[in-house]
């Protein structure tokens, strides 16, 4: 019995008997043939350590089809088509490459924006000055552009679900930034900037940090997941 276990190409050219057998070599005979779970009888020639199979028998066993043209014979195996469809379905289930790259870039911009804000809080920089305020706004605008590019690159269901979490992280950081900048002169904001551990004591900030770490790993893994920290 001859077993063929490796996936075969979707379409390839073969002569009618693969290859042509010179006169005087072993004669063809019917043998059992198994291909990817399909089995049946096929004309087989064994010659000099090689095995040659009738392409029409191979098509009949695998429920495939044979086409003829001047250049040779085309053999289509349905199992290969199913395998290709499975690969396509897997791609649709995960993040598309354009979105994955754009989302990773967006997360980098969001981290930079959050980092400059964190440095401002922890170092007690006066957020009301033009230099500090403009710097924070510049990083925020860069993150805004990066998220917009990720949104434009989204094409699969997973992309759009991942985009929703990405936007949540962006919006949460924007809300935290606005709260810090607009409330800088209030007693609450003053306490937040003067405490020894402002971020550790801020539940919203800790939630954003957890979400950011989760999203970075998720986008790199190219598979959608969910986390309460991103809602």
Question: Is residue 83 in a domain?
Answer: no
Same domain membership, residue 96 and residue 70: no
Candidate ranges 21-25, 73-77, 154-158; pick with highest mean pLDDT: 154-158
Of 38, 56, 77, which closes a domain?
Answer: 77
Same domain membership, residue 161 and residue 114: yes
Same domain membership, residue 63 and residue 113: no
Same domain membership, residue 217 and residue 141: yes
Question: Is residue 231 in a domain?
Answer: no
- 32 pairs with which residues across the strands? 41
Same domain membership, residue 147 and residue 66: no
Same domain membership, residue 107 and residue 39: no
Same domain membership, residue 38 and residue 138: no
Model confidence band, residue 84 (pLDDT cutoffs 50, 70, 90): low
Query: What residues make up the domain containing 66?
Result: 2-77
Of 49, 77, 105, which closes a domain?
Answer: 77
Rounded mean pLDDT, 216-224: 93
- What is the pLDDT of the chain when averaged over all its residues? 77
* Domain count of the fold of the chain: 2
Question: Is residue 217 in a domain?
Answer: yes
Same domain membership, residue 165 and residue 142: yes
């Amino acid at each position: 019995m001859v077993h063929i276990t490796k996936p075969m190409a979707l379409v390839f050219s073969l002569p009618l008997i693969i290859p042509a057998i010179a006169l005087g070599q072993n004669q063809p005979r019917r043998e059992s043939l198994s291909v990817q779970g399909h089995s049946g009888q096929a004309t087989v020639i064994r010659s000099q350590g090689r095995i040659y199979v009738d392409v029409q028998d191979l098509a009949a066993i695998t429920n495939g089809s044979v086409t003829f043209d001047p250049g040779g014979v085309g053999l289509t195996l349905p199992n290969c088509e199913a395998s290709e469809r499975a690969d396509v379905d897997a791609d649709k289930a995960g993040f598309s490459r354009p979105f994955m790259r754009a989302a990773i870039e967006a997360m980098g911009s969001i981290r930079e924006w959050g980092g400059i804000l964190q440095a401002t809080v922890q170092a007690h920089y006066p957020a009301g000055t033009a230099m500090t305020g403009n710097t924070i706004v510049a990083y925020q605008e860069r993150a805004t552009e990066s998220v917009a590019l990720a949104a434009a690159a989204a094409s699969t269901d997973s992309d759009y679900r991942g985009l929703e979490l990405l936007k949540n992280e962006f919006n949460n950081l924007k809300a935290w930034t606005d709260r810090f900048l607009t409330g800088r002169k209030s007693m609450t904001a003053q306490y937040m900037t003067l405490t020894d551990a402002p971020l550790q004591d801020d539940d919203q900030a800790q939630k954003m940090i957890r979400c950011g770490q989760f999203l970075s790993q998720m986008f790199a893994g190219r598979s959608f997941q969910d986390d309460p920290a991103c809602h």
